[in-house]
Amino acid sequence: MHTPDICYPASGMPLVREFPAVKLKVHGGELIFRGWEFKRRLHSVYVFYTLNNESNLDVTAPFVQDLLGWDRVIQGQRNLGQQTVEFSLIGYRNYDAALQALKTRLPKIVSLQK
């Protein structure tokens, strides 16, 4: 499984630093996000990534698709209960500003369903 610390440098964005994991509130609970800073030309890109091992993650943002379905079962793919959410933020002066922006917006677009 590819994570941002592998994919972003492979696409030409060097890793600047990794941040400690943070718990962020969403509707229905909390998710633990790993965070990184990458460099894209003159700008920092702050990436927040979580892997949820339950199948109760509901991402309501219109640009995210539900990847769980029968086609994966038919293809024999594993880890059907795993879902990831990744946010890449650019234009923030530092990690703390990017994290604050994510904290504010996250509960509006991600929820845990019971």
pLDDT at residue 70, as a whole number: 45
Residue boundaries of the structural domains of the chain = 4-108
Q: Is the pLDDT of residue 94 over 90?
A: yes
Predicted pLDDT of residue 57? 53
pTM over 0.85: no
Select the more confidently predicted residue: 77 or 16: 16
Comparing 2-6, 41-45, 91-95, 96-100, the range with the smallest average pLDDT is 2-6
**pLDDT tens by residue, 37-93:** 999 999 999 999 998 765 445 554 433 344 444 454 445 455 555 678 899 999 999
What pLDDT is recorded for position 114?
64
Query: Using CA atoms, how far apart are residues 10 and 106, in angstroms rounded to an integer?
Result: 27
CB 19 within 8 A of CB 95: yes
Burial of 28 from C-beta contacts in 10 A (0-12 / 13-18 / 19+)? middle
The mean pLDDT value for 87-106 works out to 96
Q: Greatest CA separation found in the chain?
A: 46
> Is 111 a residue whose pLDDT tops 60?
yes
